[in-house]
């Protein structure tokens, strides 16, 4: 019972702790940068990441993942 309680409560506690906090924004920014770097590496370079099949949509989606944390970081800091 304690394990089930921990599994249910811990994600909520972590989410409410990090939400609208600079730590959560930095974690989100690090994850987005890692995903973009891995996508570019898997595509064979920056140019290829936009020219291969599904490359444009994947690249744009990952870049949009970068926009939110950058904007949230600007809002939090200023």
The pLDDT value given to residue 25: 85
Q: Can you give the pTM of this predicted structure?
A: 0.68
31's tokens? 């994850």
Q: Count CB atoms within 10 A of the CB of residue 45.
A: 10
70's tokens? 């950058």
Q: How many whole angstroms separate alpha carbon 73 and alpha carbon 61?
A: 19
3-state secondary structure of 25: helix
Question: Residues 25-63: pLDDT tens digits?
Answer: 888 888 888 888 888 888 888 787 777 777 777 878 888
Write out the H or E segment, with its range, that includes residue 73.
helix 55-77
- Contact (CB, 8 A) for 39 and 62: yes
Domain locations along the chain: 1-77
């Amino acid at each position: 019972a304690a394990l089930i309680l921990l599994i249910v409560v811990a994600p909520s506690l972590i989410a409410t702790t990090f939400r609208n906090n600079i730590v959560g924004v930095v974690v989100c920014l690090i994850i987005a940068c890692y995903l973009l770097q891995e996508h570019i590496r898997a595509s064979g370079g920056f140019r290829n990441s936009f020219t291969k099949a599904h490359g444009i949509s994947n690249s744009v989606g990952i870049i949009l993942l970068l926009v939110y944390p950058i904007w949230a970081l600007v809002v939090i800091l200023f």
